[in-house]
């Protein structure tokens, strides 16, 4: 195991998972630096971070972004650069410039096929995995045809952009109606979503009723070295991002990820979303080839940082690092919002979950990130007004990747 202190550069410092990683590395005795394009972000004020550097926005200035990262890795003597959010697509495209340290990412071509919700399903089908029926929609005509076919067959479908995050535009079947039309109009009248095109396609996917299961894993050259499965009972909206993270003992999920790792040879951080109906079959829904919220389930004692810095030793020993405690975690601010519509179990279950989970941002010894959240939301509100987008979209507007060259 690593005993000497390493210099770590984390990108995507706005994300709670980046803050979690910074704290884990600090606790393990390493020096943590952060590069982030947002003016305000969680890691900027954390005591776990040696220094934070504002860098060009990767989406708007990709070349300048990578060049600045390359300069920082040299100036700070970085041993490992770890992307956490969608800036990973810009980092992976600039690997030829980031030669002075280990960069925890696969090539962009690999990441792109996992990030695209249609291509990911095509890949799984070719590898022999059981998947929900999925159709790629690239034009208005294909949209109307897909909606009409679903209506004629009485089939419930889920519609979502091939490139999206936080399930912000997902259209689920209407619980109040048997209609299979995503907009509850007649099949011939259903209008395609704005911007639908070959460059911005959507997918139509078979709707499967069941429990949502999420995973977070670290994979090294086709071998899983760290893994967590968690329940996502509380979300932002009916299908949005998880805000409550409860660890699960789920051997089938680990076996699925291990099979995926072995047949693809993937390396890096990766998360999967599954639906598990009553028969126990795991249906993969989508993939996030980056850090995901399962990181919040690991304590410093469990050694997740070793899986990131020295995975080869874990492969040799056959060790898979998993959360050992029953610790649950949450994002308190959006979790409070879930109390307005607590869902299954009602208010009592929501209150019990709220009181029993640890906030992923607040720490007694590191309080400033909790206050920073309000600056972040205010800045996102201003961006949302300026660009006429939602606050959720504003939080990632400058780092998201939607298939651009």
| Domain harbouring 55, CATH code | 3.40.50.720
pLDDT of res. 191: 83
Strand partners, 211: 276
Residue 306 in any domain: the answer is yes
Q: In what side-by-side order are the strands of the sheet with 244-248?
A: 283-288, 268-276, 211-220, 223-231, 244-248, 329-330, 358-359
Contacts of 325 (CB under 8 A, 6+ apart): 247, 299
Query: Would you call 195 exposed, middle or buried from its count of C-beta atoms within 10 A (0-12, 13-18, 19+)?
Result: exposed
- Domain shared by 202 and 227, yes or no: no
Query: Rounded to whole angstroms, how far apart are CA atoms 200 and 214?
Result: 26
Residue 85 domain flag: yes
**Is residue 366 a part of any domain in this protein?**
no
Tell me, yes or no, whether 215 and 313 share the same domain: yes
206, 229, 254: which is the final residue of a domain? Answer: 206
Q: In this structure, are 217 and 254 located in the same domain? A: yes
The pair of structure tokens assigned to 276 is 């598990």
**Sheet of strand 134-137, all strands in order from the earlier edge strand to the far edge:** 134-137, 202-206, 157-161
Place of tokens 């780092």: 399
Find out whether 268 and 289 touch, Cβ atoms under 8 Å: yes
Burial class of residue 248 (count of CB atoms within 10 Å of its CB; 0-12, 13-18, 19+): middle
* Domains of the chain: total: 3
Q: Are residues 202 and 239 in the same domain?
A: no
- Does one domain contain both 151 and 268? no
Q: How many CA atoms lie within 13 A of 335 on its CB side?
A: 23
**CATH, residue 189:** 3.30.1490
Domain boundary among 105, 124, 147: 105
Together in a domain, 168 and 244: no
| 3-state helix, strand and coil shares in percent for the chain, rounded to the nearest 5 | 35, 20, 40
Residue numbers of the domain that contains 100: 7-105
In a domain, 65, yes or no: yes
CATH code, 295: 3.30.470.20
Q: Could you tell me if 165 and 86 are in contact, meaning their C-beta atoms sit under 8 angstroms apart?
A: yes
Pair 85, 178 in one domain: no
Measured CA to CA, the distance from residue 72 to residue 64 in angstroms comes to: 12
Is 347 found in the same domain as 272? yes
Does any domain span residue 273?
yes
Domain co-membership, 197 together with 219: no
Q: How many other CB atoms are found less than 10 A from the CB of residue 343?
A: 13
- Can you tell me whether residue 153 is helix, strand or coil? helix
Q: What is the mean pLDDT of each run of 10 residues along the chain (405 residues)?
A: 82 97 97 98 98 98 98 98 98 96 96 97 97 96 93 92 85 65 50 91 95 96 97 79 92 98 98 95 96 96 96 96 91 91 87 94 96 95 93 93 91
321, 336, 359 — which closes off a domain? 359
> Does residue 123 sit within a domain?
no
pLDDT confidence of residue 300:
94
In a domain? residue 333: yes
Residue 209 has what DSSP assignment?
A: -
271 and 327 assigned to the same domain = yes
pLDDT given at position 186: 43
Does 298 share its domain with 197? no
CA-CA distance, 232 to 108, in Å (whole number)?
A: 28
Domain contains 346:
yes
**222 and 181 in one domain?**
no
**pLDDT for position 175:** 60
């Amino acid at each position: 195991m690593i005993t000497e202190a390493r210099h770590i550069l984390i990108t995507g410092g706005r994300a709670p998972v980046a803050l979690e990683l910074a704290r884990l590395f600090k606790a393990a005795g390493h020096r943590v630096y952060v590069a982030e394009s947002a003016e305000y972000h969680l890691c900027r004020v954390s005591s776990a971070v040696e220094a934070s550097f504002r860098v060009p926005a990767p989406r708007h200035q990709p070349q300048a972004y990578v060049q600045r990262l390359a300069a920082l890795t040299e100036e700070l003597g970085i041993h490992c650069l770890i992307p956490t959010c969608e800036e990973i697509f810009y980092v992976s495209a600039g690997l030829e410039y980031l030669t002075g340290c280990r960069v925890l990412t696969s090539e962009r071509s690999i990441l792109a096929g996992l990030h695209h919700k249609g291509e990911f399903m095509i890949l799984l089908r070719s590898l022999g995995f059981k998947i929900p029926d999925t159709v790629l929609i690239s034009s208005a005509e294909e949209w109307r045809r897909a909606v009409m076919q679903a209506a004629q067959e009485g089939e419930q479908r889920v519609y979502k952009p091939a490139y999206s995050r936080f399930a912000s535009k997902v259209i689920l079947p209407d619980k109040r109606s048997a209609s299979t039309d995503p907009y509850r109009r007649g099949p011939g009248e259903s209008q395609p979503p704005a911007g639908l095109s070959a460059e911005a396609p959507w997918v139509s996917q078979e709707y499967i009723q069941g429990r949502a299961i999420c995973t977070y894993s670290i994979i090294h050259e086709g071998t899983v070295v760290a893994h967590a499965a968690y329940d996502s009972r509380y979300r932002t909206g009916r299908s949005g991002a998880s805000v409550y993270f409860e660890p699960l003992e789920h051997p089938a999920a680990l076996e699925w990820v291990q099979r995926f790792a072995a047949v693809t040879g993937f390396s890096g951080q990766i998360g999967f979303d599954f639906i598990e109906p009553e028969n126990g079959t795991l249906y993969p829904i989508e993939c996030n080839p980056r850090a995901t919220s399962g990181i919040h389930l690991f304590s410093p004692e469990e050694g997740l940082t070793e899986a990131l810095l020295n995975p080869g030793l874990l492969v040799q020993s056959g060790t898979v690092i998993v959360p050992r405690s029953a610790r649950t975690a949450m994002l308190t601010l959006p979790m409070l919002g879930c109390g307005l519509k607590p869902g299954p179990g009602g208010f009592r279950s929501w209150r019990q979950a709220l009181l029993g989970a640890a906030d992923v941002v607040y720490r007694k010894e590191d309080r400033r990130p909790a206050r920073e959240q309000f600056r972040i939301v205010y800045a996102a509100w201003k961006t949302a007004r300026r660009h006429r987008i939602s606050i959720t979209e504003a939080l990632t507007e400058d780092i998201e990747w939607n298939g651009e060259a």
